[in-house]
């Protein structure tokens, strides 16, 4: 069933130029527009596709409206408006409520509290004293251990494991294969062998958090690992014990954060970044992909440490010199001294 363009404009707070009765039933791209499709123009790189788009409507900034051959929804942040409208269409299309119901094969401990409108998939295990908030859905194969608390409107995809005592806030979106609350890596050496340090803290996750597939978040050693409100984590991220991540920070895939690192609010951290433990990163810090953070970062800003790609032949010549760099620096200084003395 289609939505009306006027209804979408109103929902997302956009100014409409065009017919409010146009029916929209899908999203599409600017270069591959479809009848009934809505799209957006945010990145100037794609502006060349606007004059010829065959979408039924485009969300764009006011300066682009004159080049738009079809109906336009005008907003300062077209991508955010697109996100809102796409979500609206998706919910309209599938019906907002999940399938609902508790599968006959779910194994629920007698002391667990299951809220109203909760969906539990096949083979789900809910432990003693665990609690699943109203209207939350837990996918097949998930294991929710004893004393875990999950808020309302949470959406847990299949095969997730949450260890005992961890808590997850409202509106969580957690993807398949995620592990929350496994032991932190606490090992202490004694006479050439490793003794395990028991991991007795929890993982405490705020509201409106998204966690990508196969990401792992370890429980604290004594105190808790804490993920703030509105934090967004991509796939295959590893978060060590006692890490604290501030509100509205977003982290891209494959990044690893070692124990007791403290990350500020509104940071963005690129993919495959390494953040060492026992350090502190200020609010509003942005770290580019494949960087490594070894010390605290005290000032907001953008930071990097990755090295440029070259053809393998040039790389061999240039990067081999890295083992002579200190020597080169000393020789350069000596030449300067000689020239100065000579001059």
HEC secondary structure over 90-135: HHHHHCCCCCCEECCCCEECCCCEECCCCEECCCCEECCCCEECCC
Strands 203-205 and 225-227 come out as parallel
User: Looking at 133, 151, 169, 186, which residue binds a copy of itself (CB under 8 A)?
Assistant: 186
Candidates 1-9, 65-73, 111-119, 191-199: pick the segment binding a copy of itself (CB under 8 A): 191-199
Binding flag, residue 258, a copy of itself (CB under 8 A): yes
Of the candidates 182, 155, 148, the one whose C-alpha atom is nearest the C-alpha of residue 170 is: 155
Residues in CB range of 329: below 8 A, 6 or more apart? none
CB of 262 to a copy of itself, least distance (A): 14
Per rule CB under 8 A, is residue 113 in the interface with a copy of itself?
no
Closest distance to a copy of itself from the beta carbon of 166 (Å): 12
Report 232-251 residues binding a copy of itself (CB under 8 A).
Answer: 232, 234-236, 238, 240, 248, 250
Binding-site string for a copy of itself from residue 195 to residue 224, where x marks contact by CB under 8 A and - marks none: xxxx-x---------x-xxx-x-x---xx-
Distance CA 7, CA 1 (A): 14
Q: To the nearest whole angstrom, how small is the minimum distance from the Cβ of residue 44 to a copy of itself?
A: 13
Q: Which stretch binds a copy of itself (CB under 8 A): 2-10, 14-22, 63-71, 318-326?
A: 318-326
Q: Which is nearer to a copy of itself, 152 or 234 (CB)?
A: 234
Residue with tokens 């010390």: 295
Tokens of 134: 């109203």
Are 22 and 2 spatial neighbours (Cβ–Cβ below 8 Å)?
no
Radius of gyration of the chain, Cα coordinates, nearest whole angstrom: 26
Helices 78-94, 5-12: inter-axial angle, 10-degree rounding: 120
**Residues 6 or more apart in contact with residue 283 via CB below 8 angstroms:** 246, 264, 265, 266, 267, 300
Among 97, 107, 111, 298, which residue interacts with a copy of itself (rule: CB under 8 A)?
Answer: 107
By CB under 8 A, is residue 294 in contact with a copy of itself?
yes
Q: Is 122 in the site for a copy of itself (CB under 8 A)?
A: yes
39 or 56: CB nearest a copy of itself: 39
Tokens of 267: 């940071």
**Cβ proximity to a copy of itself, 4 vs 182, nearer residue:** 182
Closest approach of a copy of itself to the CB of residue 267, in Å: 12
Applying CB under 8 A, which of residues 117, 182, 205, 262 lies at the interface with a copy of itself? Answer: 182
Q: How many residues bind a copy of itself (CB under 8 A)?
A: 125
Set 175, 241, 248, 286: catalytic member: 241
CB-based contact 145:127 (threshold 8 Å): yes
Contacts to a copy of itself from residues 86-105, by CB under 8 A: 86-87, 90, 103, 105
Task: Please report whether residue 308 would count as binding a copy of itself according to CB under 8 A.
Answer: yes
241 is catalytic: yes
Distance of CA 213 to CAs 26, 173, 182, 340, Å? 26, 10, 16, 61
Segment interacting with a copy of itself, rule: CB under 8 A, options 3-11, 17-25, 59-67, 158-166: 158-166
Is 252 a binding residue for a copy of itself by CB under 8 A? The answer is yes
Separation CA 269–CA 35 (nearest Å): 38
The residue (of 111 and 305) whose beta carbon lies closer to a copy of itself is 305
Just list the catalytic residues.
Answer: 241
């Amino acid at each position: 069933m289609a939505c009306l363009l006027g209804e979408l404009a109103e929902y997302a707070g956009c100014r409409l130029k065009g017919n409010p009765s146009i029916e929209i039933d899908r999203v599409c791209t600017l270069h591959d527009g479809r009848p009934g499709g809505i799209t957006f123009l945010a990145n100037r790189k794609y502006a060349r596709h606007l004059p010829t788009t065959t979408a039924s409507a485009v969300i764009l900034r006011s300066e682009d409206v004159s080049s738009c051959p079809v109906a336009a929804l005008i907003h300062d942040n077209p991508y955010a408006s697109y996100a809102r409208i796409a979500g609206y269409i998706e919910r309209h299309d599938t019906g907002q409520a999940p399938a609902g119901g508790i599968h006959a094969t779910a194994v629920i401990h007698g002391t667990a509290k299951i809220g109203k409108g909760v969906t539990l998939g096949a083979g789900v295990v809910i432990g003693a004293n665990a609690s699943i908030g109203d209207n939350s859905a837990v996918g097949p194969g998930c294991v929710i251990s004893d004393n875990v608390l999950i808020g309302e409107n949470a959406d847990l995809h299949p095969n997730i494991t949450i260890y005992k005592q961890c808590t997850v806030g409202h509106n969580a979106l957690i993807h398949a294969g995620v592990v929350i609350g496994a032991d932190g890596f606490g090992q202490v050496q004694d006479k050439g062998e490793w003794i395990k340090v028991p991991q007795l803290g929890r993982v405490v996750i705020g509201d409106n958090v998204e966690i990508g597939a196969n990401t792992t978040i370890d429980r604290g050693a004594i105190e808790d690992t804490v993920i703030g409100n509105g934090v967004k984590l991509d796939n295959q991220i590893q978060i060590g014990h006692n890490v604290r991540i501030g509100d509205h920070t977003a982290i891209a895939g494959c990044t690893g954060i070692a124990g007791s690192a403290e990350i500020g609010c509104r940071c963005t951290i690129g993919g495959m970044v390494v953040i060492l433990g026992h350090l502190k990163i200020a609010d509003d810090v942005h770290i580019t992909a494949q960087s490594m953070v070894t010390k605290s970062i005290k000032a907001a800003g953008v930071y990097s440490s990755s090295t440029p790609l070259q053809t393998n032949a040039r790389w061999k010549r240039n990067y081999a010199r890295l083992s002579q760099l200190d020597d080169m620096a000393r020789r350069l200084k000596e030449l300067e001294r000689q020239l100065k003395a000579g001059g």
